[in-house]
Amino acid sequence: MRGGRGGFPRPSFIPHVPFDIVLAEHAFPPVKTIPVADEEAFQAALMKRNQALTPSEKENSAIVALVTKIQAVLDGLIVSPGSFEACQIEEVRQVGSFKKGTMTTGNNVADMVVMLKTLPTKEAVEALGKMVWETMKKKEPREVLTMSPNEQGFELSNTEATGRIMVTTIPPNLKKLDPALHLDGKHLHSAHKAVRHSRWFEENGQNPTVKALVRILHDVKKRFTDFCPLTPWMLDLLAHYSILHNPTREPLAITTAFRRVLQLLSAGFFLPGSAGIADPCEGGAVRIHTAMTLEEQDQVCLTAQTLLRVLSHGGYKQILGIEGNSSIATEMSVWDGVVVSPLERAYEKPEGKKDGEEEDMEGEADMEME
């Protein structure tokens, strides 16, 4: 047990599990069931929204075509680099929403990770991007194609799609990085995480309802800015948990799962002290919501509480963006005579505390779980 302030031992951290009606339904039989017609209308709205958010066949074809071309050039450099000596490629992996099948319309960006055998100097990464661009231009000279280097690697774009290439290096090289010469270590580690996340989702997230819910949650996050702290990985795991983590282990209906997401967040699922969701790609020792600051955790919780009250009074069209706008999360609204007022923040940073100091205590709690 780690010592606390004044030499007193710090009490053991025991995470609590917030109330979840799905897990406790046998003990709380519903007093009033939701009318079948209302539930069917809600399901139809969710499926309609998912369809509207799904990329069209034209968009999908454009991104697939670009990714295939980029992949072919990179694979060629692995097999036969020829005179290209700026760096050596270990492997190339597709990651992100394109790989997972959760991409939304209007966001035609596919992510790829290039893992180098060599150290990722800034010059080598830029040279790799230029090499890929030149090779693609030779094959199709008339295609409008641009290459833009960035902090994570480079982007290749045509008029219809973008390939975002994140560059990293093999794990043994991560200890040899020089900030003055190489890409930032945090970006290299993020690329490794992206590979692990895509592998996990490929093995566990192939249920169509999970993919549909992920897509809808991304859209909800986009429209309600107080949900911005929720990362794509948090949304992936939250959708998976809400649909598949239940007593029967059978996938829940998307209506039940969407409602459960708001219920869980409202109950403090992503607040300090909650067991939340253990990151399956980090050995189970890290709870995913601790990546947010305490202020952000409070912000997500109170927004979910407001939207859950709106949903309880039939306001699903406004939450999904079919009608109305995002003001229902920040302004008073009336539903059949019932007033729903946005909640006040519960967390205030103590005076004299520096940014991140409270979060350090949360991080210690996480380490105690190991």
pLDDT exceeds 70 at position 348: yes
CATH number for region 14-53+207-368: 1.10.1410.40
Task: Give the class (CATH, top level) of 57-203.
Answer: alpha beta
Does pLDDT of 195 surpass 60?
yes
> Any idea which of 65-74, 144-153, 191-200, 334-343 has the lowest mean pLDDT?
334-343
pLDDT of 325? 85
Pick the more confident residue, 8 or 191: 191
Query: What SS3 class is residue 145?
Result: coil
Instruction: Name the residue with higher pLDDT: 44 or 359.
Output: 44
**pLDDT (0 to 100) of residue 266:** 96
Specify whether the CB–CB gap between 110 and 67 falls below 8 A. yes
291-305: per-residue pLDDT in tens? 999 999 999 999 999
Residue 224 pLDDT: 96
Only one residue has tokens 């794990």, namely 171
260 within 8 A of 240, measured Cβ to Cβ: no
Q: Which amino acid is at 264?
A: L
Residue whose C-alpha is closest to residue 171's, from 154, 196, 136, 141: 196
H or E stretch at 335 = strand 333-335
Q: Would you call 206 exposed, middle or buried from its count of C-beta atoms within 10 A (0-12, 13-18, 19+)?
A: exposed
Residues of the chain with CATH 1.10.1410.40: 14-53+207-368
What contacts 360, CB < 8 A, 6 or more positions away?
Answer: none
At 303-317, the pLDDT tens digits run 999 999 999 998 999
pLDDT of residue 365: 35
Count of Cβ atoms closer than 10 Å to residue 127 Cβ:
16
CATH 3.30.460.10 in the chain: give the residue spans.
57-203
Among 79-83, 144-148, 201-205, 352-356, name the one with the lowest average pLDDT.
Answer: 352-356
- Amino acid identity of 303? T
Q: List phi, psi (to 5°) of 29.
A: -60, 140
Q: What is the DSSP letter of 182?
A: B
